[in-house]
């Protein structure tokens, strides 16, 4: 990818975030797209590639008035946008299109024009998981963690600390949903959702969206914003059923996707200035830090406890506040990418001084899929 590089030249979130009962889901897609076009200084007729997840890219393209020559509807959960970035880079390099728009929008909280979520009772999940009460992320994503805690010695306090430190980042972000400081005790006293998970260990449910515009690095210099170059990308998947993960203490999809992205970027862990790990629940950053190779197995909790990922630490993590405190409309991967782009532009509310390399790592489904993007603000 280095010879024929691709960059993000437009990036924006929806005008409003949080609770938006007066805007439907498809209009949120459009709002994010129009904001990203404005950011890039482009017209809708400049877009010839469209990707989205959950909703159909056909719906998004038609609603916005785009006739694309490249369409990607890869929908593997909240990391789908990382996969879109990866696929778009390949498509642009192959000449299938020149300028790609990737959108996410979900009326996750207000449910205005939101698709209904249901599982076929004849599907594998419908037969072998749903009948036992596994229907939503709080009773699905959470199931592996007791095994992880027992095997590596992680405690409820360690899980709580993930939420506490992310709230410190959120406090610096005027757009974050929750900004008041919390303590480990506050987290452990919050409502029980699915033991051992308390409410403050679970992500928000909000309305919102975001959009990215990508083009070749060659053209990227002509755009008004500082380009966020794509150095490396990875993707993988493991199983649609959390019960069928090979090992409950590590995600195979994370490991494969992460290694691919690191190898392609040709970087070492010490080169990474800023990191986003999709945190639908408090254990995700622990798995991510270990499966991406930033920490040895079982050491992520003490790494976080030691404030390495906190403001002032050596590896700033989830600097927008994360899904736990910033925003989570259903497919958070888009917001992780947005924060990486802001950090590469040097305009994040909690800017990491001098950051040159940022990684956005996403999860899809319940450890089902994964996507990883390595960004740099220096042309490769």
Partner 1 sequence: MADYARPLPQPTPETRHFWEGCNAGELRLQRCTACAHTYFPPRPFCPVCSSRDVEVFKASGKATLYSYVINHRPRPDFGEAPHSIAVVTLEEGPRMMTNIVDCPQTPEALQLDMALEVTFEKAGPEISLPKFKPVKG
Catalytic residues: 278, 326
Stretch that binds partner 1, among 139-147, 181-189, 296-304, 330-338 (CB under 8 A): 139-147
Find the shortest distance in angstroms from Cβ 50 to partner 1: 34
Find the shortest distance in angstroms from Cβ 126 to partner 1: 6
Please state the length of the chain.
Answer: 380
Find the shortest distance in angstroms from Cβ 67 to partner 1: 40
Stretch that binds partner 1, among 72-80, 107-115, 141-149, 285-293 (CB under 8 A): 141-149
Residue whose structure tokens are 């010839």: 48
Q: Quick one: 12 or 145, whose CB is closer to partner 1?
A: 145
Find the shortest distance in angstroms from Cβ 315 to partner 1: 28
Instruction: Give the one residue of 56, 135, 216, 351 binding partner 1; rule: CB under 8 A.
Output: 135
Using alpha carbons, select from 170, 189, 188 the residue that is nearest to residue 180: 170
Instruction: Give the one residue of 38, 62, 150, 221 binding partner 1; rule: CB under 8 A.
Output: 150
Instruction: Give the one residue of 192, 270, 312, 354 binding partner 1; rule: CB under 8 A.
Output: 192
Q: How far is CA 42 from CA 100, 188, 282, 290, 379, in A?
A: 11, 48, 38, 40, 21
Q: How far is CA 253 from CA 139, 142, 168, 258, in A?
A: 20, 17, 29, 8
Stretch that binds partner 1, among 11-19, 52-60, 240-248, 255-263 (CB under 8 A): 240-248
First to last CA, the chain: 9
Stretch that binds partner 1, among 73-81, 131-139, 221-229, 303-311 (CB under 8 A): 131-139
Instruction: Give the one residue of 145, 341, 357, 368 binding partner 1; rule: CB under 8 A.
Output: 145
The enclosing H or E element of 149 equals helix 145-152
Instruction: Give the one residue of 43, 116, 132, 270 binding partner 1; rule: CB under 8 A.
Output: 132
Stretch that binds partner 1, among 38-46, 68-76, 90-98, 122-130 (CB under 8 A): 122-130
Using alpha carbons, select from 49, 98, 104, 101 the residue that is nearest to residue 75: 104
Tell me: does residue 270 bind partner 1 (CB under 8 A): no
Using alpha carbons, select from 75, 36, 7, 3 the residue that is nearest to residue 219: 7
Instruction: Give the one residue of 37, 66, 241, 253 binding partner 1; rule: CB under 8 A.
Output: 241
Q: Quick one: 2 or 119, whose CB is closer to partner 1?
A: 119
Q: Quick one: 65 or 126, whose CB is closer to partner 1?
A: 126
Tell me: does residue 134 bind partner 1 (CB under 8 A): yes
Find the shortest distance in angstroms from Cβ 22 to partner 1: 29
Find the shortest distance in angstroms from Cβ 132 to partner 1: 5
Find the shortest distance in angstroms from Cβ 159 to partner 1: 13
Residues 6+ positions from 95 with CB-CB distance below 8 Å: none
Q: Which two tokens stand for residue 250?
A: 């590590």
DSSP designation for 275: E
Whether residue 50 has a cis bond before it, omega within 30° of 0: no
Rounded Cα–Cα distance for residues 175 and 170 (Å): 8
Strand partners, 70: 49
Using alpha carbons, select from 203, 201, 205, 160 the residue that is nearest to residue 183: 160
Rounded Cα–Cα distance for residues 15 and 31 (Å): 7
Residues lying near partner 1 in the complex (CB under 8 A) are found at 119-122, 124, 126-135, 138-139, 142-147, 150, 191-197, 241-244, 248
């Amino acid at each position: 990818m280095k010879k024929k590089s691709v960059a993000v030249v437009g990036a924006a979130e929806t005008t409003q975030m949080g609770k938006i009962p007066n805007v439907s889901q498809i209009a949120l897609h459009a709002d994010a797209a129009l904001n990203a076009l404005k950011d890039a200084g482009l017209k809708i007729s400049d877009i010839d590639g469209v990707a989205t997840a959950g909703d159909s890219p056909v719906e998004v393209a038609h609603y916005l008035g785009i006739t694309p020559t490249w369409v990607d509807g890869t929908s593997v959960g909240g990391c789908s946008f990382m996969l879109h970035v990866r696929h778009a880079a390949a498509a642009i390099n192959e000449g299938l299109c020149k300028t790609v728009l990737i959108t996410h929008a979900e009326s996750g909280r207000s449910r205005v024009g939101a698709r209904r979520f249901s599982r076929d009772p004849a599907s594998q999940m419908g037969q072998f998981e749903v009948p036992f009460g596994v229907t939503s992320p709080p009773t699905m994503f959470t199931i592996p963690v007791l095994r992880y805690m027992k095997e590596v010695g992680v405690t409820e306090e360690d899980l709580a600390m993930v939420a506490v430190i992310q709230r410190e980042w959120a406090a610096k972000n005027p757009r974050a949903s929750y900004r008041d400081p919390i303590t480990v005790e506050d987290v452990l006293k919050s409502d029980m959702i699915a033991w051992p998970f308390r409410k403050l260990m679970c992500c928000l449910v909000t309305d919102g969206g975001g959009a990215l515009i990508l083009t070749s690095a060659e053209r990227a210099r002509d755009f008004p914003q500082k380009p966020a170059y794509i150095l490396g990308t990875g993707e993988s998947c493991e199983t649609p059923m959390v019960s069928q993960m090979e090992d409950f203490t590590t995600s195979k999809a994370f490991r494969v996707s992460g290694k691919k992205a690191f190898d392609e970027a040709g970087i070492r862990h010490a080169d990474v200035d800023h990191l986003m790990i999709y945190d639908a629940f408090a254990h995700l950053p622990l798995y991510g830090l270990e499966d991406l190779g930033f920490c040895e197995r079982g050491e992520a909790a003490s790494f976080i406890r030691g404030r390495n990922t906190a403001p002032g630490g050596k590896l700033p993590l989830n600097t927008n506040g994360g899904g736990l405190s910033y925003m989570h409309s259903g497919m958070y991967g888009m917001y992780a990418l947005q924060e990486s782009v802001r950090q590469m532009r040097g305009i994040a509310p909690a800017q990491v001084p001098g950051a040159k390399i940022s990684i956005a790592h996403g999860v899809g489904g319940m450890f089902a899929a994964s996507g990883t993007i390595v960004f740099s603000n220096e042309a490769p």
